[in-house]
A and B are shown apart, each in its own frame.
Chain A
Amino acid sequence: MTDFHPQVKQLLDGELTLADLAPELRAEGEEALRLLAAVDREPVTLPGTLGARVLAELRRRAEAPGFWRRLRLRPWTLVPAFAAGAALALLLSPPAPTRAPAAVTVRFVLFAPEAQQVALAGTFNQWDPAATPLVRTGAPGVWTATLTLPAGQHQYAFVVDGARWVADPGAPAVDDGFGRRNSVLSL
């Protein structure tokens, strides 16, 4: 970024006029004003909370020891900050704030007395049939796995003996787009 002469910064702050500048600084002053005007001409829509967030951050940094304590911010220095903030606001999506999903513990059960191994594959483990094996528990032929999953909608299937994909008979199911069914879990 261009480092302007201190007097030119005073000009941008409104503390001096062009006529107050030394003759050799007037060209620089005019250039600085032209740049500032070019920034100001851009219609920028800022989030309502951005100003408060920037000011809160400035206050936090002003209270922090070290480099930030020595930094003096002029109003014109906020112009590129606001422009950058607006650009970032446009780049980041979705615009609505998102909450951290709550986790829910779920027990999956399949009755498969003939199976040698059973696993669970779904949207929560990137459909990896090796990631979540079920274990035999309790009554013969009963396989279970207990997982903690984020709130939301999950699709899954059981993988029996590493090859047979089976929908959960105790859960709703939808077409998987490949001619089979995926079980659905809404948390």
Chain B
Amino acid sequence: MKTLCVALLLAIAGTPLGAQQDVSARLAGRVPPEIAALVHQLAMGAAARGLPIDPLIQKAVEGSAKGVPADRVASALRALTAQLDVANAAIQQAGSNRPDTEAIAAGAFALNAGISAKQVTALALVSRPPYSTAVTLRVASTLAAMGVPAEQTVDLVTQIIALGGPATDVLGLPGQVMAGVSQGQGRGVTPAQAAAGLARAAAARANAPGQNKPKPQHP
């Protein structure tokens, strides 16, 4: 029994150490020492709060690769940590007590793309299987990055999910919007207009005889 307890204690103590070593290995020789120290500090706190640490490592490496001054990289890292916290809280608002790290990272990216915390919650609420919260948020943020207004993005994604089709229907939305823009290039069709066209088509499908009506989503 003593052996088991010692083994468990070692396993518990070894996890943060392993994470620290992983962070060190990924930053070694790629970021200045002061940025490495800050990433360590932020990453350990983030991991303790259940947040992903990969985006922090990526942002530090990205900043250094681009030759960004250390103080500006530090500001970006702190801002990203704050976004991860907000995304985590927003997803928890949808009823997920312990969101997975992919969903939190996708939520932070959505915030960066212009989706509000309330909208992140709304998207997490409708993301019930087979729709994953991470995929829904990624798609919404990509649409927002394309120039589709955030509110219109949320409405479109919600509408498509309510149709009850396969998860690929949601995943394919950015490609469909882009195709709509390409097809209407001569007429100056914007991403927002292409997205509106998809929303109209989805509404027509929902109202077509024999189609499943959209079902209200509950947490």
Q: Within the complex, what minimum Cβ distance (angstroms) separates B102 from chain A?
A: 8
Do A123 and B11 touch (CB < 8 A)? no
B66: CB under 8 A from chain A? Answer: yes
Instruction: Give the size category of B's interface with A.
Output: 35 or more
- The count of chain A contact residues (Cβ–Cβ below 8 Å) is 36
A58: CB under 8 A from chain B? Answer: no
- Residues of the B chain whose Cβ atoms lie less than 8 Å from the Cβ of A88: 11
Do A177 and B59 touch (CB < 8 A)? yes
Residue of B nearest to A81 (CB): B4
Residue of A nearest to B173 (CB): A186
Residue of A nearest to B63 (CB): A178
- Residues of the A chain whose Cβ atoms lie less than 8 Å from the Cβ of B146: 172
A91: CB under 8 A from chain B? Answer: yes
Check A94/B100 contact, CB under 8 A, given A87-B11, A127-B65, A186-B139: yes
Partner of B4, one of A1, A95, A172, A184: A1
Most B Cβ at <10 Å: residue of A39, A80, A186: A186
A112: CB under 8 A from chain B? Answer: no
Do B4 and A175 touch (CB < 8 A)? no
Do B145 and A184 touch (CB < 8 A)? yes
B201: CB under 8 A from chain A? Answer: no
Docked CA distance A88–B68 (Å): 41
Instruction: Map CB proximity to B onto A83-95 as digits: 1 under 8 Å, 0 otherwise.
Output: 1100110010111
Do A184 and B12 touch (CB < 8 A)? no
Do B4 and A80 touch (CB < 8 A)? yes
A126-155 with Cβ < 8 A to chain B? 126-129, 152-153, 155
Do A173 and B62 touch (CB < 8 A)? no
* CB-defined A-B contacts under 8 Å, sample of 16: A1-B1, A91-B11, A93-B50, A93-B98, A98-B100, A123-B58, A172-B142, A174-B109, A177-B80, A178-B62, A178-B68, A178-B76, A180-B66, A184-B141, A184-B142, A186-B171
Binding site for A on B (CB under 8 A): 1-4, 7-8, 11-12, 15, 26, 30, 50, 58-59, 61-63, 65-66, 68, 72-73, 75-76, 79-80, 98, 100-102, 106, 109, 112-113, 138-139, 141-142, 145-147, 171, 174
The 10 A-B residue pairs with the shortest CB-CB distance, nearest first, are: A177-B76, A172-B145, A94-B100, A172-B146, A127-B65, A186-B142, A127-B62, A153-B138, A1-B3, A178-B68
